[in-house]
A = this chain, B = another copy of it.
């Protein structure tokens, strides 16, 4: 059996309580005794039992992440693995672990949160894929567990948010296309129940408005390849079909680009395409995809850090805003087809291309890392 606090107490010739004080840096033991206890603990190789700690302090020393995506879609999205890796970097420094659940099917998500909370598995949750009027926010309030949301929800939320602005990346994509002379720039949106689905659409609308162009080429989809393909087919069927499509993520862009090519269109000759996320494989598409390089690892690390700070009461409750992702121009975007360019918009000079992922400060400005 493993060595317990009683063994240490016996070895050091003190009581259990004294050992507990000494090892938690609490007052109540003299410097000499403390030293003796620490020495004994080290010699015996004592590791406090998290189970016992958890029982007496009513903590789980774990954070929860519930993923409610379709498993088949999960595998295609590069976001989660990197996001999780980021969480780990923050957790590994404190004795916390990540409890991951995948909920599939209606109602499964809520059951999942309830179960983890009621079983006392976790001390807090990381909320991803925040939805319009997200039901998980009142749920977690009911369950009385702290949380951190990725981006600020559109409903009232008492939880701090860690945000990475969608708007800038989409705006940059639209501006890039406008500069290339495109005037019919469509958007294939992600699920509009997600706030990032909505915000990307809104960013597209505003950017077009700024450029004095109509935002009438919208097709809703669901972030899946199949959805992106169907939406693309719909757009290309129109008489006023677009010369460029801004997709809400890479997977839809990949499928859309593929579909356009099967229809005999050249990318970017006849149709320019942009994605979002910078999935690894997009640089090996033919043509490589112009996309927006997000930093899911950083996001995960900061979100976990904020949640941990909240648990140790050292968080100020403020939202954290991460640096906005930047556009990565590759070969899937090009000048608008001849005869399509607006009269006063000749092919512009070379567009500034961000080839490197942007530099991020090690710690975001609004966070106080201990």
Which A residues are within 8 Å of any B CB, using their own CB? 47, 49-52, 54-55, 58, 60, 62, 71-72, 74-82, 84-86, 88-89, 92, 95, 97-102, 104, 112, 116, 118-121, 225, 229, 251, 254-255, 257-258, 261, 279-281, 283-286, 288, 296-297
Contact = CB atoms under 8 A, between A and B. Distances in A.
Contact of A88 (B81, B85, B101, B121): B101
Nearest to A99: B97
A136 to B, nearest CB: 18
Given A50-B120, A102-B84, A119-B47, A72 B285 contact: no
Contact of A71 (B82, B92, B281): B82
Contact of A97 (B58, B95, B116): B116
A86 B100 CA distance: 12
B97 A225 contact: no
A294 to B, nearest CB: 11
A280 B251 contact: yes
| Closest CB pairs A-B (n = 9) | A75-B78, A71-B85, A74-B81, A76-B280, A258-B284, A88-B102, A75-B81, A75-B82, A85-B102
Given A51-B54, A118-B47, A258-B285, A81 B80 contact: yes
Given A50-B120, A280-B225, A284-B225, A99 B102 contact: no
A101 B99 contact: no
B101 A85 contact: no
Contacts of A99: 62, 97-100
Given A51-B55, A85-B104, A76 B281 contact: yes
A244 to B, nearest CB: 19
Contacts of A81: 71, 74-75, 77, 80-81
A47 B119 CA distance: 8
Nearest to A78: B75
A285 B119 CA distance: 45
A248 B177 CA distance: 38
A102 B88 CA distance: 6
Nearest to A52: B55
A78 B101 CA distance: 17
Contacts of A280: 72, 75-76, 225, 251
A100 B102 contact: no
Contacts of A82: 71-72, 74-75
Nearest to A80: B81
18 contacts: A49-B120, A51-B55, A51-B60, A54-B55, A71-B85, A72-B82, A75-B279, A76-B78, A81-B81, A85-B104, A95-B119, A97-B101, A97-B121, A229-B284, A251-B281, A254-B281, A279-B281, A285-B285
A297 B116 CA distance: 22
